[in-house]
Every structure is written in structure tokens, then in C-alpha cells.
Amino acid sequence: MMRNRNVIQVVREALLTNFRELDQWFEKDQALLHFKPDRDQWNVREVLEHIALTNYFLLLIINKSTRRALERKKTGHTVILPADYQDKFDQIDVIGSKSFGWVRPEHMEPTGFKDIAEIKALLKQQYAQCMYNLSLLKNGEGVLVFTNMSVNQLGKLDIYQYIYFLTKHIERHIRQMQRLQKEYEENAVLI
């Protein structure tokens, strides 16, 4: 994935790409945003709300870890990458696909009541917060703090990996919304 590339740049590009893609979904037709192929499935609007909710909880950890990493850097901790550092990013890449199952916590379930403009504003704010954290950790400080990630048995992730996870979670749900759009368009042709 990023064998010879700067980790921070790869994470920044993933943020930019995925949040830009998310932004386009707010311009879609209202009928598509509210289309539910099945009562038990989320519509696009609910998927967007879920992404914002999940980002909120991931950012709580990312923000706290960023503060800790900057404090550790001040107290003289040295940035040393483990030998298998890049392998963890490859494991995180799987999150962007649908190839593993995960039951999300109840507090990350969309309510369906949040206004679409509020969801869009939240996502813009979350993008800015992620970019800000990366700018604070521009000298490798992001590897000074590791936090456990239970999803797909990823184990301990540093801050860059945590933000990268956030982008892959978005990617996973972009694919879900693309499938919903395809189904919506197929149903529209049948009518």
C-alpha cells in the first residue's frame, strides 16, 4: 500500500478523497437519500448519519491521543517505528471492504432524526479536526501513542492508523451507498 510513501501524506490523501466523496452525496436527489430497499436496511441519509456518529466517537480517541502524543514528545520520547508498521495499514485496508462482519455498538446507530444539513456540517467539522490533528503530528509524534481497536482484531493502533481506520470506515459506507444508488436506479427503471 504505502511501502515507500510518507504515512502522513497517505492518511491526508485518504481523508481528502473520502470526505470529498461524502460531500457529493448531499447533492443527490431526495428520493435517493430516503430510498430503503428493505425495512431493515439503512437509507443513504441514515448511512451518512452513522458515519458522522462513528467519526464522533473515533475523534474522541484521536483527539485525546493527539494531546498525549504531543505531551510525550515534549518530555523527550523518541519516535521509533516497529518493523511491522506498514503491515498494520494493510490490515486496516480490509475495513474499506465488505469482507468482514462487525456488529456496531448501539450508540453508533442512526436515529433518522438528524437534519441532513446538520450531518453535512458535522462531517465538514470532523474532516477539519482530522486534518488539524495531522498538522499537529507532522513530525511523527502520532506513533508515540497506541490505542486498542477491537474491530476486526486490529489490536493497538497509533494515531495515524486510527485516522486511517476512520477513512476506511467511510470508504466501506461509500460502497454501501453506491449499492443503494444502484438498487434505487434499477427500481426506478422497473416503474
Tell me which of 81 and 15 has the higher pLDDT: 15
Number of structural domains in the chain: 1
CA 109/CA 116 separation, integer angstroms: 16
- pLDDT of 145 reads 92
Expressed as residue numbers, the domain containing 55 is 4-189
Q: Kindly write down the DSSP assignment for every residue of 90-133, as one continuous string.
A: HHHHGGGSSSS-----GGGS--S-S-HHHHHHHHHHHHHHHHHH
Round to the nearest angstrom and report the end-to-end CA distance of the chain: 43
Residue 79 sits in a domain whose CATH number is 1.20.120.450
Q: How does pLDDT run across 34-61, given as a tens digit for each residue?
A: 999 898 899 999 999 999 999 999 999 9
Task: Check whether 176 has a pLDDT greater than 80.
Answer: yes
| Helical axes 85-93 vs 159-190, angle rounded to 10° | 20
pLDDT digits (tens, 9 = 90+) for 97-114: 665 556 666 767 888 888
